[in-house]
Structure 1
Amino acid sequence: MSRFRHAVKGRDQHIFTLRAACVVLLILLMTALGGWMRAPEKLTIHNPPDLRKGSTRPWWEIPPPTVYGFTYYIFQQLNAWPKNGKVDYPARIQSLSSYLTPQCKAFLEEDAKQRGEKNELTDRVRVVYEIPGRGYDTNSVKVVDRDNWVVKLDLVADEYYLTEPVKRVTVRYPIRVVRWDGDSETNPFGMALDCYDGIPQRLSAAPELPKHTNKGMF
């Protein structure tokens, strides 16, 4: 009888062990399912422009050339007033608000208001572009930390009153940029401008604007 008792006891212990293992596996499965459900559906990977040498980096790292390209594009769009600065400037701020921090948006809106009250925007046409030969280099982007950068933009700013050229200056704009993982539908870049990191500096004299003539289009 003792031998049969030991056999039954061993069977019961084995069944208990299997049940405990099933419970552990069920807990691990529920944990895995919970982690899978909380995982992001989309993951943005920032690749440098030149991949000929390959690239190995953490997925959350944004390369400085990408930061520079984003900053230049958004800042250029902010300063593109094709018809009338009094209308175009506030409209640009609103349309690009997804790429601006709330503080920067408020700053630009106040700037547009003050300049509008001084009649500095009415019928003003403006465009900015890179100074030839002063595009991106290794000193163009200062990495403050993983989520903050300061970008140096050396640009030419041309302004016209209606069709009359009135100003051409070359300026260095120091722009703060922050990581902005908000709505990926309206801001797929995951970055935002945080306005100026200091006072823009005027550079050497710019080439003169072409003199206005009335000789027609050609």
Structure 2
Amino acid sequence: MSRFKNKVDDQQAHIFSLRAAVGLLAVLCAALWFGWQTAPRDLTVHVPPDLRTGSVRKWWDVPPENIYGFALYIFGQLNRWPTDGEKDYLAAIHQLQSYLTPSCKAFFEGDYQYRKAAGELRQRVRGVYEILGRGYSDDPELRVQQLDQDSWLVNLDINADEYYAAEPVKRAVVRYPLRVVRYDLDPERNKWGLALDCYQGTPQKLKLPGEAP
């Protein structure tokens, strides 16, 4: 009798262990499912533009060439007024707001109001472009400095030309120290995962070689 009782006890213990294993597998599957559901569906990987020698980088790292290209493109679009600065400047701020931090957007909106009140926008045509020979450089002190893992300082040497009724009214040669930050908030609106955080310092006027004093 005891032999049959021991066999029944063994079978119950085995059934209990199988139930425990099934429960453990269920918990593990639930954890894996949760991790799969919460994992990002899209991942932005920044690749340097020159791939002749290949590139090995961490997925979260952003090459300085990309930082510089982003700053130049967004800043150039903000300062491009093709027909009338009073309309074009504000429209550019709104169109590019996904690439501006909230504080930077507020800064440019304040700059717009100031220029409008000073009469510097109506019927003004403006464009900025990189000074020839002063584009991206590998020298970190010259163009792109990484401040920390999520922010960079970009020095843009820019020509800014303004016209009123087809007449040139302003030409400025300026170095703009721009702050760029990581900004992975809305990949649908901002594929770069970066944003301008306005100026890191005061823009400085430049004097080009051969320019009249």
TM over 0.5: yes
Across the two proteins, how many residue pairs are aligned to each other?
208
Q: Contact 1:170–1:206 at 8 Å: present in 2 too?
A: no
- What's 1:123 paired with? 123
- What's 1:196 paired with? 199
- What's 1:160 paired with? 163
How far the C-alpha of 1:206 sits from its partner, in A, is 7.8
- What's 2:33 paired with? 33
C-alpha RMSD over aligned residues: 1.6
Find out whether 1:150 has 2:153 as its counterpart. yes
How far the C-alpha of 1:166 sits from its partner, in A, is 2.4
Q: Contact 1:168–1:206 at 8 Å: present in 2 too?
A: no
User: Identity of paired residues, percent?
Assistant: 55
Residue type at the aligned position of 1:163: A
Structure 1 residues 169-208: aligned runs within 5 Å: 169-205=172-208
- What's 1:76 paired with? 76
In the alignment, the residues of structure 1 paired with residue 175 and residue 201 of structure 2 have an alpha-carbon distance, to the nearest angstrom, of 10
Q: Secondary structure of the residue that 1:143 maps to in structure 2?
A: strand
- What's 1:216 paired with? none
Listed one character per residue, the Cα deviations across residues 135-172 of structure 1 (whole Å, up to 9, x for unaligned) are 11122111111111111111111111121122222211
In the alignment, the residues of structure 1 paired with residue 65 and residue 193 of structure 2 have an alpha-carbon distance, to the nearest angstrom, of 15
**Which consecutive unaligned segments of at least 5 residues does structure 1 have?**
209-218
Q: Secondary structure of the residue that 1:111 maps to in structure 2?
A: helix
Structure 1 residues 102-141: aligned runs within 5 Å: 102-138=102-138, 139=140, 140-141=143-144
- Structure 1 length normalisation: TM-score? 0.90
How far the C-alpha of 1:207 sits from its partner, in A, is 7.9
How far the C-alpha of 1:78 sits from its partner, in A, is 0.5
- Structure 2 length normalisation: TM-score? 0.92
Give runs of ≥4 in structure 1 deviating > 4 Å: none
Q: Secondary structure of the residue that 1:98 maps to in structure 2?
A: helix
Which stretch shifts more, 50-59 or 115-124? 50-59
Listed one character per residue, the Cα deviations across residues 69-96 of structure 1 (whole Å, up to 9, x for unaligned) are 1111000000101111122111111111
How far the C-alpha of 1:67 sits from its partner, in A, is 1.1
How far the C-alpha of 1:68 sits from its partner, in A, is 0.9
In the alignment, the residues of structure 2 paired with residue 21 and residue 38 of structure 1 have an alpha-carbon distance, to the nearest angstrom, of 26
Residue type at the aligned position of 2:50: D
